[in-house]
Amino acid sequence: MTVAGDGASRRVTIVTGASRGLGRAAAYELARDGYAVALAARSLDACEEAAGEIREQGGEALAVQLDVADRESVRNAVEGVLARWGKIDVLVNNAGVVEPIGMLGELDEEAWAQNIGINLLGPFNALQAVLPTMKRNGGGTIINVSSGAAHRAIEGWSAYCSAKAGLAMLTASIATELAGEGIFVYALSPGTVDTEMQAVIRASGINPVSQIPREALTPVQIPARAIARLANIRSPELNGEEFRPDDPRLGE
């Protein structure tokens, strides 16, 4: 693990949904690049475990409990990170759920709304919480984890597709609003990645995505590395753009 400076000089990142899957893998990659990493999720124990592993390898990490759909929870988590390191340079909006999966007429209204609350309102809450400190410090980077579902309809995923389409427009909108303020906003569409979300999708048996065998899925380390690369890109020309892990603009 690369250690770049002490706790005061390191760049600081907060990763939502960091208790498992892509968020956890991204936290490891960012720590390897020398970032001080705040791992944030509803499962504090899992974040503590991951943060401990990062510290054992010479990195600096903090676990914070966070429910992205709860504004007070988000504010408290951000305040905890600021109390520890005094700044947040990078926000990775990764927390997300695919459920409920099913035909629209059969879905529970509360479950559908909860999906929107996590996948779309969650990033909005996190953005509003971190933007003041980024502006005070003269800049920052925001990475929103997108999906191919943002751009094409997928049977049984009405909530997920709607939320990710909204997140794509939120990414473009805030990139436009923040142009010239030193804050760069990107989206990453990770593809079909071998995470617990894909296990839920396979179990549903709905739509072709559920039929993809696990051995054909992308290892989680590949999009995680792409997130770490995006964290280091500060390009006005690429502001608001969406990337895939194999995008040549990410470099090696």
Q: What amino acid positions are annotated as catalytic residues?
A: 160
CA 147 to chain CA centroid, Å, is 11
Helix, strand, or coil here: 47? helix
Instruction: Please tell me the distance from the alpha carbon of residue 88 to that of residue 103, in angstroms, as a whole number.
Output: 40
29, 106 contact by CB (below 8 A): no
Question: Which neighbouring-strand residues pair with 188?
Answer: 145, 243
Instruction: Please tell me the distance from the alpha carbon of residue 40 to that of residue 239, in angstroms, as a whole number.
Output: 25
Q: Which of 117, 110, 126 shows the shortest CA–CA distance to 96?
A: 117
Q: Which of 8, 28, 10, 9 shows the shortest CA–CA distance to 18?
A: 28
Burial class (CB within 10 angstroms; exposed 0-12, middle 13-18, buried 19+) of 106: exposed
164, 221 contact by CB (below 8 A): no
The structure tokens listed for 82 are: 């600021």
